[in-house]
Structure 1
Amino acid sequence: MQNKRLVGIGLCCLLLTGCAEKNIIEDLAILEAGAYDLSESADNPLTTTVLFPTVTKEGKVDTMTLTANGKSVHDTFLKIQNLTNLKLVGGQGTILFGEELLKKGLISVVKSFTRDPEIGTRVKFAIVEGNAGKLLKKKLRSVEDNAEYLYTFLDKAGKLNKALTTNQYRFLRDYYDDGIDPVLPVFSSEGDNFELKGLGIFKKDHYITHLSLSETQILNLLLGNIKHGRLMINMEEIGDHFQLLLNSVHSKNDKNMNSGNMSVEIRLDVKGSVLEYTGTMDLSQEKYQKELETQVEKYLITSSQKLLTKLQNYQTDPIGIGKVVRNHSSYEKWTHMNWNMIYPNLPITVKAKVDLVNIGKSK
């Protein structure tokens, strides 16, 4: 009986194999990453660059990039297919966008991805200052595969800073939500390395500008709760002259709306361990620890208010203040509200409570 079952399973496997399209690995170009830029051609405005691994007859592993201009994503892919004897197969882990393309709007390109079953919703998105294809083609001594390096880079950054966790799913979710705007991490294509510059902010699908890494940390706190995070604080930004690194940061975020005077309040409750402190206070004494907590609270409030003012001036809402107002309003009131006119002048205040649970290492 057992032998008959094994024979039956074997026949099924043979039949299924015969029905499927055969793909020989040596004949495939398995795309690891893609880059999209605005071209200089009016007729073919989109430039696509793809990267895939190659193996020589001697068994040496390398990577290859191919580039083509076209009218759309699929048009460029068809042209790239004509540049190689290999069959292009999707599976990109990372997709990069040049900043000039983003200023024109990104949604038409991203919608093309949603119609392609070979591009998953978890593919990581990132912005490149200048030309995205140039970064994908860059050769670094210590990096064998740019695509794998960028993917692990973004994965690490997302674990340290939730605001940098961006992919196709999150971009589309925030784009279609009428109470928040999307964000994407920003890399520089200049220099000898891949450098993370900060976080790009959008108004719907149009790229506005990017926040510094310091501003990105504050945005991360304002977005929502944090577990096991890190926070680097340069107190020079508010007049003091020391640096503080907090580890094992746990932050709770509570946003509320006052319907009476139409204002929003954000409360931050931050706990963390002092990993490094370059100031002169003796943190083993409780009074100095309390003083440091007060200074950090002042820093968080001042930096948050400064960032919120900047975002309101740009009329972009990556924190989701609109969601707070929408969730505290009736459907009729929200739909009749001219949010784009209200948001830039909306009073938003931040309060912070900081608790340094242990002093760790200090100067």
Structure 2
Amino acid sequence: MPNKAIMLITTCCLAALLTGCEESNIIEKLAVLEAGAYDLSERSENPITTTVLFPTVTREGKFDTMTLTANGKSIHDTFVKVQNLTSLKIVGGQGTILFGEELSKKGLFHVIQSLRRDPEIGTRVKFAIVEGHAGKILEKKFPSIEDNAEFIYKFLDRAGKHTKVLFTNQYRFIRDYYDDGIDPVLPVFSYEGEAIGLKGLGTFKGDQYVTLLTINETQMLNYLIGDIRNGSLMITMNDLKSGENIQLSLSNINSKNGKRIDTTNMNVEVILRLKGSVLEYTGTKDISNEKYQRELEGEIEEYVRSNSEKLIAKLQKYQSDPIGIGKVVRNRLTYEKWKKMNWTMIYPNLSIHVKVKVGLTNTGKSK
């Protein structure tokens, strides 16, 4: 997210050029939105709650943030009410839009349709879910966070560069929602205690949030959805010799992802090939020895295979398909056969197996 001072000054200068207004005191007259949050209201006559956060500037040049909240019948209705709560002119610029847990479970289609019609909200604006009430994550003051909206934006920006499934914005959500044979996902944040943290990944069935994937499940999903470059993987598993839990950290992972479909018997095989470096290993094997390195590769293969299949079974249970198995099946069939197929009934009972091949390029640091 751009520096707040630069963003405010740039916006003000543009406003002055376009409107012909004097430049003096323009900053004090604008509220440039950094984030918006949408929740279900407790009032049936005004079912939507909107919370916005924007930076403020004092006459002494000190920066702070302010939040405003309003209930209404629709997104547009709440925005008009929010505007009436301040003498500042609210202008677009938000980098993040957050959705409350209950609203996400009910369905986001109508909210996102309203957001799409707003020309001030770009397709690259980042989407996320908040456990509980989304507006409260913007309102709450955290001792270690100066600007909650900026913190979330930078977190998503950084995470999205390293983990494919966490790269989520308006464009990707809408694309996966409308595409036949795949469901959207969104990061889920929590604000327990004195910090904002990533809870996991929310998976959807259509436009409804149906289940939360843990951090470990999220990293597995990352490798199931497609090829990955320069990925990482943190593994906790039992040492076969000592029986104790060991930590294994892999880095610089390049993975290849393939899927085989038997459309006659409706069987699917997901094939993963991973090559990476051992960053850290706390087990008892001397993995500089080629024999034990091969053994470790086999243990990693079994770990990835079993955890991937458990994750797929969980997704099938909730009829959520973020991997895009439906897209692969659809592409193997004619349009007529796909349309005749009741995919929502077939997918939960589909036989899906994962085959994994791991190669360690170096053994790094060990205990």
Structure 2 contact 39–48 (Cα < 8 Å) conserved: yes
Deviation at 1:256, TM superposition (A): 1.8
Verify: 1:112 aligned to 2:126, yes or no: no
Aligned to 1:303: 307
List aligned pairs for 1:258-277, cutoff 5 A. Answer: 258-277=262-281
Verify: 1:132 aligned to 2:99, yes or no: no
Aligned mates of 1:17, 1:182 — CA distance in 2? 40
- The alpha-carbon distance between structure 1 residues 264 and 92, as it changes in their structure 2 partners (threshold 3 A), is same
Aligned to 1:229: 231
The SS at the match of 2:130 is strand
Structure 1 contact 131–189 (Cα < 8 Å) conserved: no
**Partner residue of 2:245 out of 231, 241, 252:** 241
- The alpha-carbon distance between structure 1 residues 45 and 361, as it changes in their structure 2 partners (threshold 3 A), is same
Aligned mates of 1:312, 1:240 — CA distance in 2? 32
Verify: 1:250 aligned to 2:262, yes or no: no
Deviation at 1:25, TM superposition (A): 3.0
Farther off after superposition, 69-78 or 238-247: 238-247
Aligned mates of 2:350, 2:117 — CA distance in 1? 38
Aligned to 2:167: 165
Aligned to 2:199: 197
Deviation at 1:237, TM superposition (A): 11
Aligned to 2:298: 294
Verify: 1:342 aligned to 2:351, yes or no: no
Aligned mates of 2:239, 2:187 — CA distance in 1? 23
Aligned to 1:3: none
Aligned mates of 2:16, 2:160 — CA distance in 1? 40
Structure 1 contact 312–343 (Cα < 8 Å) conserved: yes
Name the aligned partner's letter for residue 42 of structure 2.
Answer: E
Name the aligned partner's letter for residue 124 of structure 2.
Answer: R
Aligned mates of 2:287, 2:201 — CA distance in 1? 33
The SS at the match of 1:74 is helix
Aligned to 2:76: 74
The SS at the match of 1:117 is coil
Name the aligned partner's letter for residue 74 of structure 2.
Answer: S
Aligned to 1:143: 145
Structure 2 contact 239–284 (Cα < 8 Å) conserved: no
Deviation at 1:143, TM superposition (A): 1.7
Aligned to 1:100: 102
Aligned mates of 1:309, 1:21 — CA distance in 2? 61
Structure 1 contact 31–92 (Cα < 8 Å) conserved: yes
The SS at the match of 1:75 is helix
Aligned to 1:314: 318
Deviation at 1:240, TM superposition (A): 6.4
Structure 1 contact 243–277 (Cα < 8 Å) conserved: yes
Identify unmatched segments of 5+ residues in structure 2.
Answer: 1-14
Aligned mates of 1:19, 1:340 — CA distance in 2? 52
Name the aligned partner's letter for residue 111 of structure 1.
Answer: Q
Aligned to 2:8: none
In our comparison, the structure showing a higher alpha carbon Rg is: 1
Name the aligned partner's letter for residue 272 of structure 2.
Answer: L
Aligned to 1:10: none
- The alpha-carbon distance between structure 1 residues 18 and 265, as it changes in their structure 2 partners (threshold 3 A), is closer
Aligned mates of 1:273, 1:21 — CA distance in 2? 59
Aligned to 1:8: none
- The alpha-carbon distance between structure 1 residues 240 and 338, as it changes in their structure 2 partners (threshold 3 A), is farther
Deviation at 1:187, TM superposition (A): 0.5
Aligned mates of 1:289, 1:119 — CA distance in 2? 51
Verify: 1:326 aligned to 2:348, yes or no: no
Aligned mates of 2:19, 2:30 — CA distance in 1? 16
List aligned pairs for 1:15-30, cutoff 5 A. Answer: 20=19, 22=21, 24-30=26-32
Deviation at 1:18, TM superposition (A): 7.4
Structure 2 contact 239–246 (Cα < 8 Å) conserved: no
TM-score normalised according to structure 1 size: 0.93
Deviation at 1:260, TM superposition (A): 2.7
Aligned mates of 1:263, 1:233 — CA distance in 2? 28
Aligned mates of 1:103, 1:142 — CA distance in 2? 31
- The alpha-carbon distance between structure 1 residues 105 and 193, as it changes in their structure 2 partners (threshold 3 A), is same
Aligned mates of 2:164, 2:38 — CA distance in 1? 25
Deviation at 1:209, TM superposition (A): 1.4
Deviation at 1:189, TM superposition (A): 2.2
The SS at the match of 2:46 is coil
The SS at the match of 1:39 is strand
Aligned mates of 1:84, 1:20 — CA distance in 2? 21
